[in-house]
Structure 1
Amino acid sequence: MDASPVALLPDWVVPVVPEGRVMTRTAVVVEDGRIAALVPVDDLESSHAGIDRVELAGRALIPGLVNMHTHSAMALLRGLADDLPLMRWLEDHIWPVEGRLMGPDYVRAGTELAIAEMVRGGTTTFNDNYFFPDVTAEVAIRTGMRAVVGMPMIRFPTAWAQTTDEYFRRGLEVHERFVGEALIGLSFVPHAPYSVDDAAFERIRTLAEELDLTIHLHLLEAADEIESSRREYGLHPLDRLDKLGLLGPRLLAVHMTQLTPSDVERVARAGVHILHCPDSNLKLASGICPVARLDRAGANVCLGTDSAASNNDLDLLAEMRLASLLAKGTSGDPEAVPAARALSMATIHGAKALGMDDRIGSIEPGKQADLAAIRLDAIETQPVHNVISQLVFAAPRSQVTDVWVAGRRLLDDRQLTTLDEDGLLARTARWRQRIAETPAD
């Protein structure tokens, strides 16, 4: 954390709350890792005499982006298996490779790669769903990144755990170890309704209520999920989750591409948070989440990238753009999900879903100084008629110049400050070779 107070002076401040607001000639004062004040530039000398200034000419300052769904370590599998349907992609390619190589070293290297990519794209918080969450948390703490790590549950053995009891035991050990860490949040991450049984779901519900944790779940990602649930349990997945007491505001439901209009109203009434991953859903041809309808119904829609293995990037700026365009195109309404709402989905909506909207997701005094500066004076984003539209519809992630988490500068003029880029690339190259040389089963 930067020790002394500092004033950030961008051309524009986009606080997100209230939605659509853009402030000019405004300094953001950061002290002890928090946003201390928003001060008119003309008053800065009188209110904060002698304060260090960071000039951010030509840039917009936004809250750090919140990536609400990813599997960070899978960055090592980027491009390994493309142009396949979901279950073939998982069962024939991804799960076999993970089964052969999964372990702490793999997760450490993949998470470092993912964090580097996310920071360079303006992301300051990621909601992770993967094995060895203790390793993910360690890397996040060491690199200064904010993360919510999940305690995994799936009904077959993995390198992380062999039995249901071991999944719970190891998960609760992770909770006990990291529950007090400032940069780390925790959740339960049962994989999906088709891979977790009722008894495990019931235990998760009880523990989530006792520990006040969210439940981060792949749900209604593909069409055959509904019929398989009816065959195995005699219930639609939403009915099954409702029966198990899981259909409520603790539930962070990822994908949700198979919703009917009545389903939309149902999940909105229940307070379920929707984690929309448009790029991954399109690439796997899983379907399209009805975001415009969900937004109109009052559901809290957030954005995630999914893994780099299915996306193939961790670019939340691109997800904002795609989410807005998909909502317009599928609804036939050009006013659906305007730029300001897309930015909210990538910031304050994610913070709300995580129960962290009192700490992150907007530029307001008292909140953590999780911030990203994005250059708008480049050819690709000129002229600037509307700052927020330019951020959502035009700005590439390569124009993110500076990023702070809790006041600590993780990206300084495009240079990573807590990760060695050359060492990271060398480790990634070694893992690529190892993956290529690992024999198939």
Structure 2
Amino acid sequence: MTTLLKNCAYVVTLDADASVLRDVDVLIDAGRIARIIDARDPLAEPIETLDETIDCSRRVVMPGLVNLHTHLAMTLLRGLAEDVDLDGFLTRVWAAEGAIMDAATVRLGTSLGALESLRAGTTMAADMYFHPDAGRAGAAEVGLRLATGPVLFDGPGPDGLAWERRLADVEAWPALARTLGGPDAPDLACPHSTYLVSPGHLADLGQVVRVWRRPLIHTHVSETAAENAQVIAQTGRRPVQVLADAGLLDGTIGLVFGHGVHLDLASDPALIGGHATIAHCPASNLKLASGALHWAASVSAGLALGIGTDGTSSSNDLDLWVAMRLAAMLARLTSGRPDAVTSVDILRAATQVGARALGMGDRLGSVEVGKDADLLLIDLDAEHLTPVHDVHALLVFAAGRSDVSDVFVAGERVIADRVSTTVDAEALRAQSRERAAAAVEAWP
């Protein structure tokens, strides 16, 4: 498939110089960005064959967003745990999950979450949820890159599996994942947290994951002060210290830490040593009153920060534009400095940093020739996007998911003029409403 994005008003490249290109054409061929052409150059080499041309004279072209921490299937549980803190949230939601979230429901909920994500401009997500094979298949149906894999607990958890079975599932996951279709996406092992997975089991997991082609672990870390206190009571160590003692921070495994609100910035960054990326989830953290991550202090301490939404049971939506804006404003609030983080920093966090954390930084996260064509078109024909003075600031502080008109994943136009090209969205919504109603009725 060969597509030409013609006469692009702005191309926000997020390359090394954060270049913004004006009046260029972007050629997508075989799933990649093949050429970026000066539309005003009469000597530009002509393009011989095209399957599709899209007028982008009133569009911003930018890299697809990467949601670095979420639980997509929980779209079906949205609104079931309100006005509670994390402990109250987990108590209510885990009961619901155990009662109703079987493989078929997870597939349906993940498809719904994947569609919500794509419509909002997210092209890849790091997911943590039960029945990851069903989740990967559901996301593949819709066209989202879903980085996922088996979830691990010491005990049976809502899905009722023993530890030995969970570890065996991790070992088998890469081969199974290759059979599930969809755009290429990383494999993850997902121990829930250091308060639900023991140090010994974490060490065992590390041994299994190290043989993967691209070893990656995704876990919750220091989301709340209460979590830190619980882990210290159980182990005598802070969460990051537990992970280091288990050998997971030796540089052989990439890690994504969900939340990281209450990291000890005086000691944890040295243990992390650049081997983990924090998935900052400001909407969820604020809604659950978990606390506010200090962006400027975290970066100064050497931490890499991406951005996530968390699941819709805690944040209530999968909108990375809201998360970006909250992250930028919280950084200013917690530091007392309006220059604590730039718009470019926030955009990089929501694109490049996430892609790099998931081992795909060489393929995703910027608009450059040779990279995969995971791209968004932002419609500028709106009062709140008029006029354009600073396009980076416009994207962070004014744009929203309703402004996303088109989305490409690996060169496939999965959202065209705000409509899914891969699934019947109305039917998916109807199935989701029906399943959610039956599930809630069955849940005691």
Task: State the TM-score bracket (shorter-chain normalisation).
Answer: over 0.9
**1:208 corresponding residue in structure 2:** 209
| Contact 1:264–1:293 (8 Å) recurs in 2 | no
1:19 CA displacement: 4.9
Paired residue secondary structure (1:314): coil
1:198 CA displacement: 1.8
Instruction: Give the TM-score normalised by structure 1.
Output: 0.95
Segment drifting more, 251-260 vs 157-166: 157-166
1:251 CA displacement: 1.9
**2:331 corresponding residue in structure 1:** 327
1:134-213 correspondence runs (5 A) = 134-158=133-157, 160-179=159-178, 182-211=183-212, 212-213=214-215
Are positions 1:17 and 2:31 aligned together? no
**1:428 corresponding residue in structure 2:** 432
Q: How has the CA–CA distance of structure 1 residues 172 and 269 changed in structure 2, closer, same or farther, with 3 Å as cutoff?
A: closer
Q: How has the CA–CA distance of structure 1 residues 94 and 45 changed in structure 2, closer, same or farther, with 3 Å as cutoff?
A: farther
**1:272 corresponding residue in structure 2:** 276
| Contact 2:241–2:271 (8 Å) recurs in 1 | no
Segment drifting more, 345-354 vs 204-213: 204-213
1:5 CA displacement: 4.6
1:159 CA displacement: 5.6
The percent identity for this pair of structures is 36
**1:237 corresponding residue in structure 2:** 239
CA–CA distance in 1 between the matches of 2:318 and 2:332? 23
1:238 CA displacement: 2.0
| Contact 1:118–1:315 (8 Å) recurs in 2 | yes
- After TM superposition, where is structure 1 displaced by more than 6 Å over at least 4 residues in a row? none
1:260-409 correspondence runs (5 A) = 260-263=264-267, 265-266=269-270, 269-409=273-413
For 1:217, the aligned partner's letter is T
Instruction: Give the TM-score normalised by structure 2.
Output: 0.94
**2:95 corresponding residue in structure 1:** 96
CA–CA distance in 1 between the matches of 2:42 and 2:308? 37
Segment drifting more, 343-352 vs 194-203: 194-203
1:140 CA displacement: 2.3
CA–CA distance in 2 between the matches of 1:425 and 1:54? 28
1:6 CA displacement: 2.9
| Contact 2:244–2:271 (8 Å) recurs in 1 | no
CA–CA distance in 2 between the matches of 1:172 and 1:34? 31
- CA deviations on 1:128-151 (whole Å, 9 max, x unpaired) are 100111011112222222111122
1:174 CA displacement: 2.7
Q: Which runs of 5+ in 1 are unaligned?
A: none
**1:64 corresponding residue in structure 2:** 64
**2:29 corresponding residue in structure 1:** 31
CA–CA distance in 1 between the matches of 2:237 and 2:244? 10
**2:75 corresponding residue in structure 1:** 75
| Contact 2:269–2:301 (8 Å) recurs in 1 | yes
1:125 CA displacement: 0.4
CA–CA distance in 1 between the matches of 2:115 and 2:134? 16
Paired residue secondary structure (1:215): strand
1:73 CA displacement: 0.2
Q: How has the CA–CA distance of structure 1 residues 369 and 45 changed in structure 2, closer, same or farther, with 3 Å as cutoff?
A: farther
| Contact 1:126–1:146 (8 Å) recurs in 2 | yes
The aligned length equals 437
